[in-house]
Amino acid sequence: MTDFVAPPLNPPVRLLLGPGPSEIHPRVLRALSANTVGHLDPYYLTLMSDMQQMLRCLFRTQNPMTMAISATGSAGMESTVVNLIEPGDSMVVCVNGVFGERMFDVAGRAGANVTRVDRPWGDIFEPSHLKEALAKKPKVVGIVLAETSTGALQPLEEISKLVHEAGALLLVDAVTALGGVPVEVDKLDIDAIYSGSQKCLSCPPGLAPASFSERALQVVLNRKTKVQSWYLDVSMLAKYWGQERVYHHTGPINMSYGLYEALRIVLEEGQEASFARHLLNHKALKAGLAAIGIKYAAREGHQLPMLNAVTIPDGVDDAKVRGALLNRFGIEIGGGLGAFKGKVWRIGLMGHGSRQANVLTFLGALEQLLAEQGYKFEHGASTAAANESYLSHKA
């Protein structure tokens, strides 16, 4: 058999305005190409400590057990669940989109007796929706802060109080939230939380920031059974990320460089400034889409500023629009998942991708494609409305 040599690497240039990965900041790309050192090199160990401290700033926590798990955000979900749950433990999972569904699946695979609480896609959970499930005194309650499949932002203040009054641990999915909206781990008394590097942090996928409260860590350290995943066992990762730096696995050195630089960028800008920028561009996009009759799928007042899930107009071909955006304009947006498949577009304005130029570029391209399909609207209305939104903010 003759050896096969694949073509040279030459990925196309894309404007990533989908649900992730987001646009990568040039500084992060440069960091990824820095000299590789060993995973126990003093330089890398110092970098790990500094990265932990920056993650604590972003999670707004003092939790010592704050780290970047060497895998994608889905492994962050799995790590929190399998460490807190032992076979037979009770868990409540809130499901109002794909990632609540996924947490429910992961909990079942971990051996939990899972109570599922459902809300319509695009809606949120009110405290009253959980009272019946909490009366069963579950060990863990899992909920998604920023549901990427629907664009819904979940309030947690009252729910956190109820969860802890019931004696349960609160587990939160912040994959899309971190860096785009406030994530208040200590203030909200969150016990376990995870995120991903590829959303508002504008780093390639491959690392999962996570944090465990002291209460959650004690649950992990006092388990009766071993964690089902050796790789994700926090009792061992705690020694790797703690002062001992006991070897556990070969860390992804250059991905860590990328996340390190991504965190520096967010904190240099300032968290409040980052949140304000995401909200500014969300409002301009929303104004532009409203001007041409396109509405949001998530409940009003609870819409994510970084992930805009919008309903596809009647008579418009979903696949044709997304395909033409990609092939003619080099713009990627996401289609709907699950119950929203074929019904919504998911437009990401995350991290480095949340810029005025991207909002206006996208709206201009979308107008052309909608006009080609015979969709009726006032041409130029979306960009005019978005510009008016930006101008009113400056005023």
Q: Are 260 and 254 in contact (CB under 8 A)?
A: no
**pTM of the predicted protein model:** 0.97
Burial of 166 (0-12, 13-18, 19+ CB in 10 A): middle
Using 50 as the pLDDT threshold, list the residues of the chain that sit under it.
none
User: Look-up: residue for tokens 């076979």?
Assistant: 87
Q: Number of structural domains, the chain? A: 2
177, 246: one domain? yes
Tell me, what's the pLDDT at 244? 85
The residue out of 236, 252, 267 marking a domain boundary is 267
Q: Is 54 helix (H, G, I), strand (E, B) or coil?
A: helix
CA angle 371, 373, 376 (to 5 degrees): 50
212, 313: one domain? no
Task: Determine the structural domain holding residue 370 and report its residue range.
Answer: 271-394
Tell me, what's the pLDDT at 395? 78
Give the separation between CA 132 and CA 138, rounded to whole angstroms.
11
246, 354: one domain? no
Domain-embedded: residue 142: yes
What is the tens place of the pLDDT at every residue in 264-320? 999 999 999 999 999 999 999 999 999 999 999 999 999 999 999 999 999 999 999
Tell me, what's the pLDDT at 394? 84
Q: Are strands 113-118 and 90-95 parallel, antiparallel or unpaired?
A: parallel
The residue out of 267, 284, 304 marking a domain boundary is 267
Cis check for the bond before 155: say yes or no (omega within 30 of 0).
Answer: no
Residue 351 DSSP label? G
240, 334: one domain? no
